[in-house]
Structure 1
C-alpha cells in the first residue's frame, strides 16, 4: 500500500511525534510510506532521524515579517497544497493545516483528530472545522475525543489508540549517567512538557508549585518543549507576571534534544500533566514507561486511557496536594501497572489497526 502521512511541522509536538512513529511502523510492515511536512524557518529535516524506509518530503516555508496567526495559517495551507504531489493510495493528515491542504487539492483525505480546539481567529476556526467535517474518514486516539467530535459535529470517528516507544523510556530509567547529568544540572525537579501555553494549564501548575515549594526547598519547576505555530505571548506574559508576583523562577528549557528527553523524564520526581485538553496523553504514557509518577488533570480522556496508573488533581490546590504526597512518599502510583500499560501501546499494534482502517475507507480511484 502506498501511504502519505501529512503533518504541519518538523518540531517535536505530539501530532508530529505520532506522524513519524506511525509512518515508521507502517514502513516496517512493508508499506511504501512518505511523510509530507512544512519546513518552517530554515528546517530541512525533522527534529530526529527518520527510518530511511520512509520518504520524507519537507516543503520550504520561509518566515514572513509582521505576519499574524491567521495569515500564517492560510499561507501554510496554500504552500503545502501547492507542493503536495502524491500518487499514494492513502493520504492521511494529522492536523487541520495538512488536511486543508489536501482538501484544497481535491484529494480524499483521512484525518486523525487528536483533540478539539476552541479558536477565535477566523482562519483557524475555518481550518479546524473543515478538517473535521470534510475528510472522507476520521480517526481519534481516544473514545472521549471521538464522543466530543460526534456531539459537536454529528460525525462518528473510529478510534485507534496511540503507540508509545516504551522501551526507549524504560531504558532511560536505568541510565545512571544520563540521569545524573540532568540531576547535576537541575537538582530535584517537577517536570512539565509541551511548553507554556493555555492548553497545558501552565499557570495552574505555577500556582500549585507556589503552594508546595516551602515544604520542599530546592525543588525546581521545569518546563520542556514549547514549539508552536500559535501566538501565546499574552498567556506567557500573564505567566511571567504571576511568577514574578509569587517570587518563582521556573526553569524553561525550551525544545529538548530527542536523545536527551527520556532521561529528563526518568529523572523527574514527577511529571505534572495538567492539560485542559488532550487527545491521549503521550507524554504521560512515556513517563509511565520511565517509572516516573504522573499527576494529571482529571479529564474523561485521561481516566479512559490511564485509569488508576496516575494521580488526579484539577485545581491548583489538588495538584499541589498530589505532588506533595508523591514527593513525601505518602502516595504512590501503580508503577508496574503503568509500565505494563505503556508496553501494551505499541506502534506496530497501531499500524496494524491503521491498515485495517485504510482498507475500509472509500477513497475512490487511486490518484
Structure 2
C-alpha cells in the first residue's frame, strides 16, 4: 500500500496516470468507521484501496467495465477501459503438440488431458479441482491434470509457496490421484503454448470466479483450448456458458467443477463451439491496440498539462 503515498512526494504539478488492475474488492480498513471512509472518498481526500493515487490522478484506466463502475460509483469519474490481451502468444511448434506433450508427461497418446495455467495460489481453487479428480477419472479413464505455473510470487513468498505446494501434493495422495497430477513449476512461454494446444480443456477454478481480466484465461481462449471457469458475480459478459466457455456455477465446489469438466470432456461439439467462439472474443484484444490506447491517454494528459 506504500505506492498510495506516491502523490505525497511527487511535485504537485506532475501529472499522474493510474491503471487499476484490481479495484473494488477491499473493505475499508477497520481503523475508521465505514461512514468516515465514505466521507473521505466523497470529499476526494483518500481512497481505501489506493491512498492518494486515485484522488490525484489526471487519468484512470481499468481493464474491465466492472472496475470502471466501482470507480464511477465512488468518485463520479469515468475511467478509460482498456481490456487485457492474452499473456502467452500462440506458438507454431513442429509436429503435433498433443502427441509430444503427452509423451513428455508419460501418458498414452489418447489420454484425456486437462491443464491449469498461471501462478499457483490458494485463491486459484486448485484444492477443489483435485477433489473433483477421482470421480472425473472414473468417468474418463486415464485423465491427467497438468498444473503449469510457479508457486512463488509477490502474493505468495517462498516459505508460504513451498508449504502450499506440499499441501497440494499431499492432497493428491489422499484423494488417490497422485499419479494423475503433474506440477511443472514455472514454464517458458513456448512450453505453456504447447501445453494449451495439447490439452482437451483448460480449467480455471478461481475461488472468486473467473473473468477476462485474467491473462491466463485469455491465453487459453486464444489457443482455442476449451476453457472451464468458475462463475463470477457479476458474471463476465464475455464468458458465456456453452458459448465461449463452460461455467461451473458455484465457486469452491468440487461437485460443480466435476460437472463442468465432465460436460466439456464428454461433448466434442461443445468443445469445438466454445473454442471457436472464444477465439473470436480474444481476437478483438491485441497488445499493439492496447499500447496505442495507452499512448492516446498519455498524450491527452500531457497536452492538458503543458
TM-score of the pair, normalised by structure 1:
0.61
Whether 1:223 and 2:147 are equivalent positions in the alignment is yes
* Number of aligned positions between the proteins: 265
Cα-to-partner distance string for 1:28-51 (whole Å, 9 max, x where unaligned): xxxxxxxxxxxxxxxxxxxxxxxx
Change (3 A) 1:309 1:235: same
- Residues 365 and 134 of structure 1: CA distance in aligned 2, closer, same or farther (over 3 Å): closer
Match of 2:95 in 1: 176
Seen in structure 2, the aligned counterparts of structure 1 residues 203 and 151 have a Cα distance that, compared at 3 Å, is: farther
Do residues 245 (structure 1) and 185 (structure 2) align?
A: no
Are residues 160 and 301 of structure 1, via their aligned partners in 2, closer, same or farther at CA, if it must alter by over 3 Å? Answer: farther
Map 1:4-43 → 2, pairs under 5 A: none
Query: Cα RMSD over matched residues?
Result: 3.4
- Is residue 326 of structure 1 aligned with residue 251 of structure 2? no
Evaluate the alpha carbon distance shift between residue 337 and residue 177 of structure 1 in structure 2; reply closer, same or farther with a 3 A threshold. Answer: closer
Please give the alpha-carbon distance, in whole angstroms, between the structure 2 residues aligned to 1:360 and 1:164. 27
Q: Which residue of 2 aligns with 1:290?
A: 223
CA distance in 2, matches of 1:178, 1:103: 52
Cα displacement (A) at 1:289:
2.1
Distance in 2 separating the partners of 1:296 and 1:264: 18
Q: CA deviation at 1:312?
A: 0.3
User: What are the ranges of 5 or more consecutive residues in structure 2 without an aligned counterpart?
Assistant: 31-46
CA 1:360–1:129: 2 relative to 1, 3 Å:
same
Aligned to 2:50: 129
Using the TM superposition, give the Cα deviation of residue 109 of structure 1 relative to its aligned residue in structure 2, in angstroms: 2.8
Greater strand percent: which structure?
1
Deviation at 1:354, TM superposition (A): 1.9
**What residue in structure 1 maps to residue 254 of structure 2?**
316
Are 2:17 and 1:110 equivalent residues in the alignment? yes
**In structure 2, what is the Cα distance between the partners aligned to 1:198 and 1:346?**
30
Structure 1 pair 145–274 and aligned structure 2 pair: CA distance change class (3 A): farther
- Max Rg structure: 2
1:213 aligns with 2:118: no
**Larger CA deviation: 185-194 vs 258-267:** 185-194
Q: Does 1:266 align with 2:226?
A: no
